[in-house]
Structure 1
Amino acid sequence: MGRWWAGIDWSWGLQDFVIIDEEGKVVLHLRVEESREGVEQILGALRALNPTSHRFSRRQVPIAIEDGTRLLVAELQRRRQPVVVIPPAVTSRYRGRHGAAVSKSDRGDAALLADIIRQNPGRRSFLPENSDQAAAIAVLARTQASSTQAARAIMLRLRSHLGLYFPAAVEAWSGTQHGLRRPEARAVLALAPTPRQAAALSKRRLHDTLAAAGRTRLLDEEAGRLRDLFAASALRQRPETEQAMGERTRLHLAELSIACQHAEHLSNLADTRFSAHPHHRIYRSFPACGPIVAARLFAEIGDAPERFPTGRHLRAYAGTAPITWSSGSSHTVVHRTVCNRALKATVHQWAFGALTRSPGCRALYDARRQRGDGYAAALRHVGNRLLSGLHHCVRTDQLYQEHVMFPTADGRDEVTGGQDEHLRVTLGREP
């Protein structure tokens, strides 16, 4: 019985679908729409490859595509057709293998995608079959991250604009968490967007504004600090210019408020959806793994049981595992750049927060710094350990335990008193 591979070059309109045989020759080429009829054409073509054999199934033919988020891919996965996602950068590197003159066409790209998985059996993994619940959480968590980035970008534009005519407003919340994104900062600036208006505010008015924005602690002290700061002598723009710049500040504030509201709403929605998932209690049991961090980690990792067979696979996917370059007498270990960057950034944030919430993480970080590692390298080791522990806990359905993750100095488990070599290997600890 022969073997076949397929590739789809997606585009707006018609998609090129190509099937190749064991020798890499094109045996079928179709142009189909991204619709139910197009999916039926694809599946029908796969079934017709060997209609006389009862041992043949269309599911034995993997399909390669560059974009795994398309509706076409979602429908193929719903029909349980194996799909392999090939990054566009990989496709570009393979183009020169078929001839000195590199050309490009939709049909040629579809055949090239199929040929990549033909030449690399076992090297390209199928698109993970996450549950619908996990896919929904991923959409919400990633959208929340985008909204947060948008709010931060707007805040930076606002801060730059305020520096032109109202530097006291920048100084007022400099160094505080979230800065000008804080509800109280936005409320005060909306009330007084110019230095002259801010200087005229009374302590009582500032107190009421801060309270209405949600601040509950040290209201009198904060209101007095802001009043003194705004009333201090400072350089100012001319009155009409200052008023016009205040109107622009109102525009930035309106944009910032909308972005912050969307980010907060999506954060609550993602946490609510994730709290109903069986993995929620495991993620939240880890130190510094709050609602946002937990949802973002789960969004990139998913719940497909066989996606990461070992902790090493997960660490490589997150970019925390190093890469070794060895050739002759040259031997170099460098950090990984080809990875899921969203997951890598979340793990960095997670590891940083764990330094003050987990004695074991802090001890590991300090030990790596003493060995000569820089800040980022030491933090990657902490992220490595946390990811290994998360992988182990999810696979075994256990909650995080500090004394198991970081046993005593003699290597003995504080509970059983015995050596746990298997756990050390599972968690990726260095000997």
Structure 2
Amino acid sequence: MLFVGDDWAEDHHDIEVQDDDGRRLARARLPEGIAGLTRLHELLAEHLTDEDVDPETGFVAQNVLVGIETDRGTWVSALVAAGYRVFPLNPVQVARYRERHGASGAKSDRGDAHVLAEIVRVDRAHHRPMAGDSPQVEGLKMVARVHQSAIWDRTRHLLRLRSALREFFPAALEAFPELTAPDALELLERAPDPARAARLSRSKITAALTRARRRDTEAKAEAIQAVLRAPALRLAPEIEAAYAAIVASQVRLIASLNSEIAALQAVLAEGFGRHPDAEILTSQPGLGPILGARVLAEFGDDHARYADAKARKNYAGTSPITRASGTRRVVLARYARNRHLADATHQWAFCAITASPGARAYYDTLRARGAGHHAALRQLGNRLVGILHGCLKTRTTYNETTAWPDLTATAA
């Protein structure tokens, strides 16, 4: 077998090739793209025999193991297509492994390529090879992550907007409790400071509420106008002007993100609806097209990837970890995990409480034992991931009685 360490950069790859005994067979710096990949194939071919090559395709069989610190990009896709077994390694783990060989803190691209080759040669049993997910779910994963990142970006801008309004225009927070709503954004962009807000006519407020499809617009417009015109403490005009510029900027950013999030959501729902596993996922309580798409994208659709439900729970980060030393033993939540998947499972558990009597009974039982809200949701999420694994394994949709036999009987 050949073991390849690939330390990648934006425009090149540092490569080291080792044999079973750890002897260095080749070392090179290859350019990114077709030329570099062709040279890599040539380097490996110099140390392969005829038995190592598939006679039909000409590709190298899976006796070449590649360690690299990424799982995305055209280079990685080409390595997988060539038949190599690719191990996308966590940079934190690689850094810790580097410390095993020296405490000086020295680091180089060649040295990292050597460390990556050593990891796949010696410790590959402790690392997960790249999953064989379909291109469809890989694309879904890319859109789902950008969609989620856009939501997180919007939340950050929303917090900045709330902070600015609280400091110079608190009446706006009372008038517009939903700052991401279209009517609130429209009126704040038109009147981002107390002086202009007080001059807003009731007809303009009503028109904004109507465009946002609000009910009882006349009464709501009257209430908003009363709040905006009520006497309040004011800052110096120069400071208010600065705050108004900040508010207007944040409002435009949030409005733009609202539009992009809606567009990405439509793409996500369409792609998810075409996937064969969509019916199984949407049958789970609390999973709709968008949240289901995120769960599917992060888990992948390689059904051989997870040996059992525990492996899927570990990957999701929902299963707890135990730290024991001497007589001290504590059970903790996993914080080193895929935050996209962790966020999705947490929301899934929260939505399942109202969609499933069994999930609600399980949550209430945990709360009765003294678990906090988020701790109970983590445990419920762990249980839901196990249920999903069983449904995917048996290719069956969710069944409330099968999922919660004891709890549903007790609730009944």
Specify if TM > 0.5: yes
Corresponding residue for residue 71 of structure 2: 68
Corresponding residue for residue 189 of structure 1: 188
Secondary structure, in 3 states, of the residue corresponding to 2:143? helix
> Could you list the per-position Cα deviations for residues 179-212 of structure 1 after superposition, in whole angstroms to 9, with x for gaps in the alignment?
3111111012123222233223333332221111
Q: Does 1:128 align with 2:126?
A: no
Between the aligned partners of 1:23 and 1:75, the Cα distance in structure 2 is 27
Q: Does 1:299 align with 2:297?
A: yes
**How big is the shift at 1:15?**
1.0
Secondary structure, in 3 states, of the residue corresponding to 2:234? coil
Between the aligned partners of 1:358 and 1:154, the Cα distance in structure 2 is 34
Corresponding residue for residue 374 of structure 1: 372
**How big is the shift at 1:321?**
0.4
Corresponding residue for residue 180 of structure 1: 179
Between the aligned partners of 1:331 and 1:242, the Cα distance in structure 2 is 55
Q: Which moved more, 1:325-334 or 1:363-372?
A: 325-334
Query: What aligned pairs does 1:220-299 form with structure 2 within 5 A after superposition?
Result: 220-238=218-236, 242-243=240-241, 245-299=243-297
Between the aligned partners of 1:29 and 1:240, the Cα distance in structure 2 is 63
Q: Which moved more, 1:199-208 or 1:79-88?
A: 199-208
Between the aligned partners of 1:144 and 1:55, the Cα distance in structure 2 is 42
Alignment RMSD: 2.3
**How big is the shift at 1:47?**
2.9
**How big is the shift at 1:8?**
0.4
Query: What aligned pairs does 1:96-115 form with structure 2 within 5 A after superposition?
Result: 96-99=99-102, 101-115=104-118
Secondary structure, in 3 states, of the residue corresponding to 1:12? coil
Structure 2 letter corresponding to 1:402:
E
Structure 2 letter corresponding to 1:203:
R
Cα contact 2:165–2:247 (8 A) shared by 1:
yes
Count how many residue pairs are aligned between Structure 1 and Structure 2: 406
Are the structure 2 counterparts of residues 271 and 55 from structure 1 closer, same or farther at C-alpha, using a change threshold of 3 Å? closer
Q: Does 1:94 align with 2:97?
A: yes
Corresponding residue for residue 18 of structure 2: 20
**How big is the shift at 1:26?**
0.9
Secondary structure, in 3 states, of the residue corresponding to 1:59? coil
Cα contact 2:317–2:337 (8 A) shared by 1:
yes
Cα contact 1:46–1:58 (8 A) shared by 2:
no
Between the aligned partners of 1:366 and 1:289, the Cα distance in structure 2 is 20
Between the aligned partners of 1:241 and 1:66, the Cα distance in structure 2 is 48
Cα contact 2:313–2:386 (8 A) shared by 1:
yes
Q: Which moved more, 1:95-104 or 1:134-143?
A: 95-104
Between the aligned partners of 2:196 and 2:125, the Cα distance in structure 1 is 68
**How big is the shift at 1:381?**
1.3
Decide which of 158, 167, 181 is 1:155's aligned counterpart.
158
**How big is the shift at 1:79?**
2.4
Decide which of 366, 382, 385 is 2:383's aligned counterpart.
385
Corresponding residue for residue 88 of structure 2: 85
Cα contact 2:53–2:61 (8 A) shared by 1:
no
Are the structure 2 counterparts of residues 411 and 110 from structure 1 closer, same or farther at C-alpha, using a change threshold of 3 Å? farther
Corresponding residue for residue 208 of structure 2: 209
Between the aligned partners of 2:29 and 2:17, the Cα distance in structure 1 is 12
Between the aligned partners of 1:77 and 1:343, the Cα distance in structure 2 is 24
Between the aligned partners of 1:356 and 1:4, the Cα distance in structure 2 is 53
Cα contact 1:308–1:314 (8 A) shared by 2:
yes
Are the structure 2 counterparts of residues 28 and 239 from structure 1 closer, same or farther at C-alpha, using a change threshold of 3 Å? closer
Structure 1 letter corresponding to 2:88:
V
Query: What aligned pairs does 1:336-347 form with structure 2 within 5 A after superposition?
Result: 336-347=334-345
Between the aligned partners of 2:248 and 2:105, the Cα distance in structure 1 is 53
**How big is the shift at 1:99?**
4.1
Between the aligned partners of 2:277 and 2:176, the Cα distance in structure 1 is 38
Secondary structure, in 3 states, of the residue corresponding to 2:70? coil
Corresponding residue for residue 429 of structure 1: none
Are the structure 2 counterparts of residues 411 and 252 from structure 1 closer, same or farther at C-alpha, using a change threshold of 3 Å? closer
Between the aligned partners of 1:172 and 1:259, the Cα distance in structure 2 is 22
Between the aligned partners of 1:337 and 1:351, the Cα distance in structure 2 is 17
Percentage of pairs with the same residue = 34
Corresponding residue for residue 319 of structure 1: 317
**How big is the shift at 1:241?**
5.2
**How big is the shift at 1:244?**
5.4
Are the structure 2 counterparts of residues 55 and 186 from structure 1 closer, same or farther at C-alpha, using a change threshold of 3 Å? closer
Corresponding residue for residue 35 of structure 1: 33
Structure 1 letter corresponding to 2:191:
A
